[in-house]
């Protein structure tokens, strides 16, 4: 049966006039009841407040996020929702308010943020019958003011399934292309043109994994033998050339985390044992710029190590590298951290330690001049907020997500 | 005690000193539910030593547990990562009803303490039903980033089959090593 206001089921697509009629009926009934109640009160008390105002009927509205407010301390927090269908939650960490959310599909990875357009992007996976059936992968564009999906383009169903990292997708610097990591278990990179919102093709990267963009037409992937595979793109998003950059690291001696961070044209890869590998672009390839230790003698003796789910963050303007630290033996690279150590990457020295109020697996830092540090853990629904310079704890945002994984600072439009 | 349990316990202990009882209960509830998630992703992890998987050096399993397919100490589980199908309607060598074995698998070499021989064990996953959530068994020894995918437990290995949803893991004996 088609719903009608008279049937007592509200169809919010009805015209305002119909809603007004329905609301009017409700108000009329309510007013009759109210009048009766007032009479009873008057009879009881012998007086009616002379200043009583009749409440006006209301229309239900949908929020739209304004453009003219600072989003410097807003984050997208990916909620893995127990490894089922997840979402990215938008949170204003100054007020502590959740501003909205977008659905990011089965085993969600992360979102990509445009700095040119009021858009974010997600590669989403859906199963035909919820938990079974034909798999469909889509590239989705969300409007960052309405949070509505405004484009949904089917792509080959090859996106990696599992836990997300910041390296599972990336944008070219000019934001012409979105790159998304495929694993079937053959590894490749899907290329999507953001300007035409069209899937271009995939580029195979056999033996290598993940995506580290290095300019308008280049990215590299890390390979199982410790090299990097550099792919140069043409203006159509196809492969122009590929270069193997050997000997970036030795995965058998000291593996680097694949959870790297970038800033000022460099990629920073901490290793399991606590060295920092810095990778830079060199024309059509990349090279290891330098390695320096994050640990002094006391730290090594104390068995301090980097580790976690998203254990690194970088403040580009201040050149500060934030590293989640714990004490542990070999193979503790996914332990929760209890401290965040802050490094000046120009001076190559530690400048501060932040003692966390709550142990964390994921960290992120805002990019403004008064930055805040965000921390979360997979088992903990709360998001913690710290002053990223003084280290003081600012607030706890409760019930931020069922299963927090990736934290991403909202990047302002340029 | 599995790494998951230790992580959860540490996080809970740490937070419990700073939160009210009510919020702690909420956290514990989330931790329990979260515990359903973390081992969801099966691992292709090499067995670095052909010894029984002891959990921790100070937590040596008893003989009963190394022969109990419902225990993380079971000798065949030396390189497993996930929920044990033995607790989910299947067994160490069978998938629960309604699930589908994954075609992609990984192997470990485990020492059987009962006969002193090493065996190759295939850790097939059972897929097509959402996560079982019982008897998590999760370790990071030898675990490596995704540029060594066969050693990464951040990957859902059900992805190689028709059904993407991961339910639990088995440990099928292939033969003597």
Task: Note down pLDDT in tens along chain B; length 177 residues.
Answer: 333 333 333 333 333 333 332 222 233 233 323 222 333 333 333 333 333 333 333 344 455 789 999 998 899 988 787 889 999 999 999 999 999 998 877 777 889 999 999 998 888 889 999 989 889 887 676 788 999 987 787 888 898 888 999 999 999 999 998
Mark yes or no for CB contact A381/B8 under 8 Å: no
Chain B contact for A378 (CB, 8 A cutoff): yes
Chain B hits for A135, CB-CB cut-off 8 Å, are 164
Q: Are A231 and A239 in contact (CB under 8 A)?
A: yes
From the list B131, B142, B148, which residue is nearest A83 (CB)? B131
Structural element, H or E, at residue A325: strand A320-327
pLDDT at res. B141: 67
Q: What is the mean pLDDT of each run of 10 residues along chain A (414 residues)?
A: 38 41 46 50 51 90 93 97 92 98 97 97 96 95 98 97 93 98 96 98 98 98 98 98 97 97 98 98 98 98 97 98 96 93 98 98 98 94 98 98 96 90
Q: In which region does residue A346 sit, left (phi positive, over 0), alpha (psi from -120 to 50) or beta (all else)?
A: alpha
Chain A contact for B41 (CB, 8 A cutoff): yes
Q: Are A209 and A181 in contact (CB under 8 A)?
A: yes
DSSP H helix total and E strand total for chain A = 2, 29
Tell how far CA A366 is from the center of its chain. 13
pLDDT at res. A381: 97
| Beta bridge mates, A45 | none
Q: What does R_g of chain B's alpha carbons equal in angstroms?
A: 16
Q: Where are the domains of chain A?
A: 1-61
Chain B hits for A84, CB-CB cut-off 8 Å, are 130
Q: Give dist(CA A181, CA A191) in Å, integer.
A: 9
Residue among A304, A226, A310, A229 nearest A272 (CA):
A304
Residue among A75, A122, A125, A80 nearest A100 (CA):
A75
Q: Of 2.60.30.10, 2.130.10.10, 3.40.640.10, 1.10.1740.10, which CATH number belongs to B40-176?
A: 2.60.30.10
Chain A contact for B40 (CB, 8 A cutoff): yes
Name the packing angle between helices B3-16 and B21-37 (round to 10°): 160
Q: Are A355 and A373 in contact (CB under 8 A)?
A: no
Q: In which region does residue A357 sit, left (phi positive, over 0), alpha (psi from -120 to 50) or beta (all else)?
A: alpha
Mark yes or no for CB contact B7/A161 under 8 Å: no
Mark yes or no for CB contact B37/A83 under 8 Å: yes
What is the CB neighbour count within 10 angstroms for residue A43? 8
Q: Give dist(CA A320, CA A279) in Å, integer.
A: 16
Q: Are A210 and A258 in contact (CB under 8 A)?
A: yes
Measure A252 CA to nearest chain B CA, in Å.
10
Measure B85 CA to nearest chain A CA, in Å.
18
Q: Give dist(CA B93, CA A93) in Å, integer.
A: 49
Chain A hits for B159, CB-CB cut-off 8 Å, are 160-162, 183-185
What is the CB neighbour count within 10 angstroms for residue A264? 11
Q: Are A333 and A272 in contact (CB under 8 A)?
A: yes
Chain B contact for A22 (CB, 8 A cutoff): no
Name the DSSP class of A283.
T
Mark yes or no for CB contact A107/B156 under 8 Å: yes
Q: Are B98 and B92 in contact (CB under 8 A)?
A: no
Report strand pairing: A85-92 vs A218-223: unpaired
Q: Give dist(CA A321, CA A352) in Å, integer.
A: 11
pLDDT at res. A299: 98
Residue A46 class from Cβ within 10 Å (0-12 exposed, 13-18 middle, 19+ buried)? exposed
Mark yes or no for CB contact B159/A161 under 8 Å: yes
Mark yes or no for CB contact B11/A209 under 8 Å: no
Q: Give dist(CA B91, CA A346) in Å, integer.
A: 56
Chain B hits for A251, CB-CB cut-off 8 Å, are 144, 147-148
Collapsing DSSP to helix, strand or coil, B35 comes out as helix
Which residues of B belong to the active site?
A: 106, 125
Chains A–B, number of C-beta pairs less than 8 Å apart: 138
Tallying the residues shown for chain A, one arrives at: 414
Tallying the residues shown for chain B, one arrives at: 177
Place of tokens 């990457």: A345
Report strand pairing: A239-245 vs A261-263: unpaired
* Peptide bond between residue A159 and the one before it cis (omega within 30 degrees of 0): no
pLDDT at res. B81: 76
Q: Give dist(CA A212, CA A189) in Å, integer.
A: 11
Chain B contact for A345 (CB, 8 A cutoff): no
Q: Where are the domains of chain B?
A: 40-176
| Beta bridge mates, A340 | A324, A354
Residues 171-200 of A with CB under 8 A from B: 183-185, 187
Chain B hits for A208, CB-CB cut-off 8 Å, are 147
pLDDT at res. B8: 38
pLDDT at res. B84: 94
pLDDT at res. A48: 52
For A180, list phi and psi in degrees, rounded to 5: -130, 135
| Beta bridge mates, B166 | B127
Q: Give dist(CA A273, CA A287) in Å, integer.
A: 21
Tell me how far CA of residue B169 lies from CA of A72, A83, B47, B79, in angstroms.
44, 16, 16, 11
Q: Are A366 and A388 in contact (CB under 8 A)?
A: yes
pLDDT at res. A47: 52
Collapsing DSSP to helix, strand or coil, B29 comes out as helix
Chain B hits for A187, CB-CB cut-off 8 Å, are 149
Residues 43-102 of B with CB under 8 A from A: none
Mark yes or no for CB contact B143/A333 under 8 Å: yes
Collapsing DSSP to helix, strand or coil, A182 comes out as strand
Q: Are A324 and A308 in contact (CB under 8 A)?
A: yes
Residues 107-136 of A with CB under 8 A from B: 107, 125, 127, 131-132, 135
Q: Give dist(CA B127, CA B158) in Å, integer.
A: 6
How is residue A236 written in tokens? Answer: 């159509």
Which residues does A82 contact at the CB level (< 8 Å), separation at least 6?
A: A402, A403, B33, B34, B36, B37, B131
Residues 8-37 of B with CB under 8 A from A: 8, 10-11, 14-15, 18, 23, 26-27, 30-31, 33-37
pLDDT at res. A384: 98
Residue among B66, B47, B67 nearest B142 (CA):
B47
Chain A contact for B155 (CB, 8 A cutoff): yes
| Closest residue in chain A to residue B4, using alpha carbons only | A335
């Amino acid at each position: 049966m088609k719903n009608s206001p008279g049937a007592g089921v509200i169809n919010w697509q009805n015209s305002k006039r119909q809603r007004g009629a329905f609301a009017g009926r409700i108000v009329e009934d309510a007013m009759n009841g109210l009048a009766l109640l007032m009479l009873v009160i008057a009879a009881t008390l012998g007086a009616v407040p002379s200043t009583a105002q009749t409440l006006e009927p209301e229309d239900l509205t949908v929020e739209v996020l304004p453009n003219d407010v600072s989003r410097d301390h807003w984050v997208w927090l990916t909620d893995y929702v127990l490894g089922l269908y997840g979402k990215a939650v938008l949170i204003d960490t100054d007020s502590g308010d959740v501003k909205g959310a977008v659905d990011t599909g089965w085993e969600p990875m992360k979102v990509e943020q445009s700095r040119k357009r009021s858009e974010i992007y997600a590669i989403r996976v859906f199963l035909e019958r919820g938990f079974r059936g034909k798999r469909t992968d889509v590239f989705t564009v969300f409007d960052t003011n309405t949070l509505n999906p405004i484009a949904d383009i089917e792509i080959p169903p090859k996106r990696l399934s599992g836990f997300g990292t910041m390296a599972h997708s990336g944008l070219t610097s000019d934001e012409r292309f979105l790159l998304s990591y495929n694993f079937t278990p053959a590894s490749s990179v899907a290329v999507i043109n953001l300007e035409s919102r069209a899937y271009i093709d995939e580029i195979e990267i056999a033996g290598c994994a993940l995506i580290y963009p290095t300019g308008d037409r280049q990215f590299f992937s890390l390979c199982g033998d410790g090299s990097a595979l550099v792919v140069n793109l043409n203006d159509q998003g196809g492969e122009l050339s590929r270069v193997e950059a050997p000997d970036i690291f030795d995965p058998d001696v000291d593996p680097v985390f694949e959870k790297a961070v970038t800033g000022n044209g460099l990629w920073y890869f901490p290793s399991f044992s606590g060295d920092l590998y810095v990778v830079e672009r060199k024309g059509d390839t990349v090279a290891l710029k330098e390695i320096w230790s994050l640990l002094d003698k006391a730290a090594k003796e104390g068995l301090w190590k980097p580790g976690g789910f998203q254990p690194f963050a970088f403040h580009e303007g201040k050149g500060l590298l934030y590293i989640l630290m714990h004490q542990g033996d070999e193979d503790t690279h996914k332990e929760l951290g209890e401290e965040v150590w802050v490094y000046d990457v120009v001076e190559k020295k530690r400048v501060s330690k932040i003692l966390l109020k709550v142990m964390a697996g994921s960290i992120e830092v805002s990019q403004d001049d008064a930055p805040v540090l965000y921390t979360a853990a997979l088992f903990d629904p709360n998001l913690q907020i710290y002053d990223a310079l003084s280290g003081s704890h600012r607030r706890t945002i409760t019930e931020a997500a069922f299963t927090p994984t990736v934290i991403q600072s909202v990047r302002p439009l340029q | 005690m599995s790494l998951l349990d230790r992580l959860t316990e540490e996080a809970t202990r740490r937070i419990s000193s700073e939160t009210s009882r009510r919020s702690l209960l909420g956290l514990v509830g989330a931790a329990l539910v979260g515990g359903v998630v973390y081992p969801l992703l099966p691992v292709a992890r090499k067995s670095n030593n052909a010894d029984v998987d002891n959990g921790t050096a100070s937590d040596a399993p008893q003989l009963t547990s190394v022969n109990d397919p419902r225990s993380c100490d079971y000798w065949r589980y030396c390189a497993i990562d996930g929920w044990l199908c033995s607790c989910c309607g299947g067994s160490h060598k069978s998938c629960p009803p309604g699930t589908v074995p994954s075609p992609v698998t990984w192997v470990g070499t485990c020492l059987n303490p009962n006969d002193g021989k090493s065996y190759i064990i295939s850790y097939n996953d059972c897929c097509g039903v959402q996560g079982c959530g019982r008897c998590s068994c999760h370790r990071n020894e030898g675990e490596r980033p995704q540029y060594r995918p066969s050693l990464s437990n951040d990957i859902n290995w059900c992805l190689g089959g028709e059904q993407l949803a991961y339910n639990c893991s088995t440990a099928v004996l292939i033969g003597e090593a």
